[in-house]
Every structure is written in C-alpha cells, then in structure tokens.
Amino acid sequence: MSRSPFPALALLGVTFVVVTAPAAVAEPDSGAAYLGRWNYDFPDHSTMLNYATENIPGAPDAPQIGDIIFTSSAPGRVTGRTDVGCTWEFKSSTDGLTLDPPNQTCHNPTFGYSYTTTAWTVRVHGDKETESITALSHHQDTDYTFTLKHGARTRVGEDDPDAAKAFEGNWSANNAPQGNVTLTRNYGDRLIARTSDGCTWTLVSRGDTAKLDPPAQTCTQGDSAVTLRFWTIADSGDHQISTMTGTDAKGEPIMLNSELTRH
C-alpha cells in the first residue's frame, strides 16, 4: 500500500492515515483486456484494412463490418460471439488471443452456409484491437479460402447516445434493390430507417456501426410482407457500407451488400 497525498489527521491524540490501494491491472494473459464489444473500423480498400480476400472466381474483396463481443469463459479463456451469430473459443496469453482449438466450424445462421476458421489471432492496445483470420467457407462440394490479413476494431460501450448523429441523413445505394435510405434519430442511440419501398425499420447505433434491433422485423405491404433478419451499417461520415439479409415481398431471399453515399 502507498500513503495518501493528503496529510494525516490528528484528532484526540490519535493519528488517522488515509491509504489507497493500487489500481487493479489486468494480467496480460488473463483475457480481461479483451472483454467487451468491438466494432470493425471502417474498411479502407487502398490499404486492405478490414478487407478480406476469397479465392471465389470473380469475387471482389469483401469489406468486413459489424461487431464481436468477447466474454470470459474460464481463467485464461475468452469466448467471442459475432453479430452474425457464430461463437468462437480463444485462449489468452501474453501475446494475445489465439483461436483454441483451431479449426472451429460454425453454420452461419445469417448467410446460410458453414465455414471453418483455421486460425484467428487478436491483439489489443487499450481500446484498439488488431486481428488476422484464415478460414474455409463451405459451398456445396467446394471450399473457398477466406483471408483477413489486416483487421482492426475499436472497443465501444453498450450505451452510446451520441453515435446516432453520424448516421442521420438521406443516403443513395450503389445498387437498385437497396434504393434510397433515410436515417433519422429516434431517441438516444436509436435510429429509424425508411427504405425506398416504404418500409420503416429500427436500428441501434454504437460507435461507427448501426444494427437492426430487434434483430427480426417485418413490414407488411398489402397481402405480402418484407422481413429483415439482419442489417448492419458501418459509417465513415459521407459514406456507408451496408449488409442486409431477409425475404422480399415475393418471399425471395434478400442478401444485399451495398455502398451508400450521403446526398
């Protein structure tokens, strides 16, 4: 223990000394430094920050958006749950987090296929995180490699009432199915999204990322309905990247990756 910077107080001949205990510091290999919610930083194709490559013929590089929540599962063990619904197990050491055991498989409930992550390393410095991932995505009789060499995230709080301001405005998508989107702040960190088909959706924003909340919403259109089961938007000021899945008014699947520009 160390002595307080305040002078001792003498009263009735008795001296009282105020002492303070040193602040608790997380051990490097305890996993405590990794706990919380982490958003991918906005992807930058020029540096390949948060862009993954896949050996699918003709497939473009894939921007990575969304979040992961790290929780402690045991001493030296951390569980990561991604926003697409997959859970991964890591061990912690002085060098960071590593996927343990390797070759973990998840059936992705958001996109409807399975993939096996062969390696995943995570490092943190304060509220900044870097990572690299290698994986195999399984499609019918063919497996494709997935590689994220330069991943980066920022820790965000669960309650971020100022985040919604950055998303507000009118946005135009680069593909016809997405159309235009108007985002307005509802209250706190909540957003209302009005899409060009006349539907209204609610999202929650934290840091640079907004997500559909609740995670399954339906818009009725006459005798039909549009359902969204997943919608995540990453924002960088005048540009956004959006990923959306669900079913349209004809019951056909929606799977849209879009870039949006403020107008």
| SS3 call for 138 | strand
| SS3 call for 135 | strand
Query: Radius of gyration (Cα) for the chain, nearest Å?
Result: 23
Give the global pTM.
Answer: 0.86
In this structure, which topology does domain 32-156 adopt according to CATH?
A: Lipocalin (2.40.128)
Cα–Cα distance for residue pair 242/232, rounded to 1 Å: 6
What is the model's pLDDT at position 72? Answer: 96
| CA 97 to chain CA mean position, Å | 17
The strand pairing partners of 224, in sequence order, are: 221
What is the model's pLDDT at position 177? Answer: 74
**51 vs 59, 74, 122, 155, 253, CA distance in Å?**
12, 32, 16, 19, 25
What is the model's pLDDT at position 248? Answer: 92
Cα–Cα distance for residue pair 129/41, rounded to 1 Å: 10
Of 139, 93, 94, 147, the C-alpha closest to 120 is 147
Cα–Cα distance for residue pair 122/71, rounded to 1 Å: 14
Cβ atoms of residues 49 and 240 within 8 Å? no
pLDDT tens, per residue, the chain with 263 residues: 444 443 333 333 333 334 344 444 445 466 899 999 999 999 999 999 999 999 988 889 999 999 999 999 999 999 999 999 999 999 999 889 999 999 999 998 888 889 999 999 999 999 999 999 999 999 888 999 999 999 999 999 999 999 999 999 999 998 877 889 999 999 999 999 999 989 999 999 999 999 999 999 999 988 899 999 999 999 999 999 999 999 999 999 999 999 999 98
Which residues neighbour 2 within 8 Å (Cβ) at sequence distance 6 or greater? Answer: 19, 20, 22
- Residues written for the chain: 263
Domain 163-262: CATH architecture, name and number where available = Beta Barrel (2.40)
Q: Where in the chain is the domain with CATH 2.40.128.30?
A: 32-156
Q: Which residue has the tokens 């909340």?
A: 213
Please classify residue 242 by burial: count the beta carbons closer than 10 Å to its beta carbon, then call 0-12 exposed, 13-18 middle and 19+ buried. Answer: buried
Phi and psi torsions of 71, nearest 5°: -130, 155
Q: Where in the chain is the domain with CATH 2.40.128.20?
A: 163-262
